Chains A and B, each alone.
Chain A
Amino acid sequence: MIRRFWRRMAWIVPLACSACGETFQSALQPAGPHAASLARLIWSFTAICGVIWLLVMLVLLFALWRRHRPAEARHERRATAIIGAAVAATVLIITGLTLMSYAATRGLSDDAPDPVVIRVRGYQWWWEVTYADRRPERTFVTANEIHIPLHRPVRLELTAADVIHSFWVPNLAGKQDLIPGRNNTLTIVADAPGTYRAQCAEFCGLQHAHMALPVIAEDAAAFDTWRQAQLAEAPAPVTAEQAAGRDFFTAGPCSACHTVRGTSAAGRLGPDLTHVASRQTIAAGQLPTTRGSLAAWIADPQTIKPGNNMPLVPMTPDQLQSVSAWLASLR
């Protein structure tokens, strides 16, 4: 029995470690100063508490193993002194840990000069992302994907449309709630390029677990190129199939909920699809963006993400083909 347990552990431990090399979503592999200070905090807490645990265990073992001696008055005095010292040490350590925690989390929501301002609005179960700018013509709305420039503070203004959500991108920062009717802010800075997965960290209903988004940190030039491309209206259809897809989309129920800038589709209930094919994933981190997964999602969203608010819109195979072809062309 015991041997079987160890054999099983021998399997599980390397398996558990196989995920350690991944930088995709981990609070222990910080990619920015805020996450780094949180990681330092958790490591120092773990180290200090580990040492204390070890000392307590040693003292316990010593007490169990030593020979019993009859009690004397001088032993009583020594015990009082030891207990007094232990209480003092406990108070000191807890105060120290509290101060460390305060110091590490104090600067997390500080205003930084010249930030990129991104408004994130949580919906059941997707994210609306608005890139704000002083000039209204430089403001645009996208969904389920955030691009940020390296080494520049990004101020996230977080709110929600229906229930409380929470924005958590472990590689860059701690959690911050999105609360209906309130504006929370969170400042993040990325120092290493990469794609970091963020997800909702507050239970928000049926599909809470499937409410994620990639945060892509890239250098300033790449970010500006991306931003410029997102500002543009949707490209015109090239093939006849794509044109048929656009016509179906704008005439049918799709346009009641979705916006595609540059067409008559201007619904505000679902994600903006102007550049949907330029995003890495669809349905809030559920599927990679391909024409096939777009078609699968449109054909039956309730099987892929049960309970979400996109209805199954009945359509013919030709209509499904053309509408997915058009959406896949919206780069």
Chain B
Amino acid sequence: MIERCVLFAVLSLTACKREMRDLRSDPPEAAALDQVRPMENRIGGAAPRIMYALGQPYEGNAYQLNQGKRLYDWFGCKGCHAQGGGVIGPALMDGWWRYGSDPVSIYLSLRDGRPNGMPAFGQRMTTDQMWQLTGYIRSLGSYRPSTAAPSRNDEMQARPAENRGPAAAALIARPSR
């Protein structure tokens, strides 16, 4: 009986894992996170090496995605891209990208801007914030399944919520054979 209780107590501890919230990068980390190595046309390239050492926190961490969602609102992204559907700026959730869909391309679009209207935010946001926003923008289209999602909108949602399964899952699914 006692053994069973001990076993149960130990097993119940396994569920105690909580997502860690990394509230800020140390300044050297932040500096390293800015060291992206883009291709010559500034579309695509290699992510900073430290991103892998940190375990790619801006892709699968709900807190970071949520901060990205907050920044999407706060820094006026909605003004041109609406809720991802696009207005005077291109859509961010239709799977078509003029300047690349990978994290490095999106980071470069945010930091340095792009021709025909996308402003540069490198002087307005910190490296952490730009990566958070990159992670959120990549989650907008929901083309890949993810275990993390930001919280729901307070207002009515103009598209499927980010915390639903991938929007394109039904299309991508292949027969298992």
Contact = CB atoms under 8 A, between A and B. Distances in A.
Given A307-B21, A311-B24, A253 B124 contact: yes
A253 B125 contact: yes
B24 A313 contact: no
Interface string A247-283: 0000111011100000000000100000000000000
Interface string A156-181: 00000000000000000000000010
B89 to A, nearest CB: 19
Given A311-B129, A314-B30, A314-B31, A256 B23 contact: no
Q: Which 8 A-B pairs have the closest CB atoms?
A: A256-B124, A302-B24, A302-B23, A311-B126, A312-B24, A314-B27, A269-B74, A306-B23
Interface of A: 180, 251-253, 255-257, 269, 300, 302, 306-307, 309, 311-314
A300 B27 CA distance: 10
Given A256-B125, A312-B126, 19 more contacts: A180-B154, A252-B123, A255-B124, A256-B124, A257-B74, A269-B74, A302-B24, A306-B23, A307-B21, A311-B24, A311-B126, A311-B129, A312-B25, A312-B27, A312-B30, A312-B128, A314-B27, A314-B126, A314-B127
A255 B75 CA distance: 12
A270 to B, nearest CB: 10
Contacts of A314: 27, 30-31, 126-127
Interface of B: 21, 23-25, 27, 30-31, 70, 74-75, 123-129, 154
A149 to B, nearest CB: 35
A246 B107 CA distance: 28
